[in-house]
Amino acid sequence: MHTLTHFRLCPFSRAARLALAELDIEPELVEERSWEWRPEFLALNPAGELPVLQIDDATPLCGIYAISEYLGEAPAKALGSEPRQDGEAVEEEVEETEAPRLRLFPGDPAQRAETRRLADWFNGKFNREVTHALLEERVYARLHTAVATPDVETLRAIQANLRYHMSYICHLADRRRWLAGEELSFADLAAAAHLSVVDYLGDVPWEDYPAAKVWYARLKSRRAFRGLLNDRVPGTLPAPHYADLDF
């Protein structure tokens, strides 16, 4: 049994959930408020960061980098994501008809490097300039202190940063089938995870970035996205269009 320790609006947790769902893995979800620094959680991950993936009795995988790399390299059988069938003949038939397992880091070394570059862009630069800053202002501050008083100037700076990133997503989406190339990859999942948080809060100006909206709509309509669209955080309702596939 797999267990993912996460927080519903943590973008890294969401990226892990998307990757697991794309691989047909349904972990038990355990919610954690990492800022509370619970000793039990620190024993699991001394860094005190989310997400953490536990696979059976193996060493916990801590952080989205370790999780994505493991999921990208581990064989399907080790992850328990292969279809279970009785009988050798049936197994052979399934192998012929079953859709190929998603590769999180597809292609040749250059292609995989591009996927990792973009995943790092969203998990690093986008997170610093948009997601984390927005969560601090709109969600974490209220959960910490029960007082929600976002700083207007900070929100303006975040919105300016977001527009820069949205332009970059449009640039990529206009030139490629998916962000990193012709195949869906972890770069798309990482980007969508961060944007889904911002979209939950209603701060994405989709009408100004049609190419990004088309790309995101393709991801939003995938089965793997359903869990995220069902998320609700007490005290913070999603934007009205958040779960709408025809937004």
pLDDT in tens, 25-69: 999 999 999 999 999 999 999 999 999 999 987 899 999 999 999
Please check whether residues 52 and 125 belong to one and the same domain: no
> Rounded to the nearest 5°, which phi and psi values hold at 209?
-135, 70
How would residue 97 be classed by pLDDT, with cut points 50, 70 and 90? very low
Please check whether residues 93 and 123 belong to one and the same domain: no
Angle formed at CA 125 by CA 2 and CA 53, multiple of 5 degrees: 10
Please check whether residues 123 and 223 belong to one and the same domain: yes
Output the pLDDT for position 145: 67
Please check whether residues 130 and 81 belong to one and the same domain: no
How many structural domains comprise the chain? 2
Q: Which domain holds residue 64?
A: 2-97
Please check whether residues 88 and 118 belong to one and the same domain: no
The pairing of strands 52-55 and 28-31 is unpaired
Q: Check pLDDT > 80 for residue 100.
A: no
* Amino acid type, 9: L
Residue that terminates a domain, selected from 42, 67, 97: 97
Q: pLDDT of 183-215, one tens digit each?
A: 999 999 999 999 999 999 999 999 999 999 999
3 state SS of 29:
strand
Q: Check pLDDT > 50 for residue 22.
A: yes
Which tokens hold the place of 168? 């970059």
245 falls within a domain: no
Please check whether residues 38 and 91 belong to one and the same domain: yes
- Other C-beta atoms lying within 10 Å of the C-beta of residue 131: 27
134 falls within a domain: yes
C-alpha span between 242 and 247 (Å, rounded): 8
Range in 16-30, 33-47, 145-159, 170-184 with the lowest mean pLDDT: 145-159
41 falls within a domain: yes
Please check whether residues 114 and 224 belong to one and the same domain: yes
Output the pLDDT for position 227: 96
Please check whether residues 93 and 113 belong to one and the same domain: no
Q: Check pLDDT > 50 for residue 132.
A: yes
- Other C-beta atoms lying within 10 Å of the C-beta of residue 140: 16
Alpha helices for the chain (secondary structure H): 11-22, 39-44, 64-73, 76-79, 88-97, 109-120, 132-135, 141-145, 152-175, 186-200, 210-220, 226-229
Closest of 166, 172, 143 to residue 233, by C-alpha: 143
Output the pLDDT for position 93: 39
Specify which residues 223 forms β-bridges with: none
Percent of the chain with pLDDT over 70: 89
234 falls within a domain: no
Please check whether residues 129 and 38 belong to one and the same domain: no
Give the CATH number for residue 146: 1.20.1050.10
Question: 19 near 104, Cβ under 8 Å?
Answer: yes
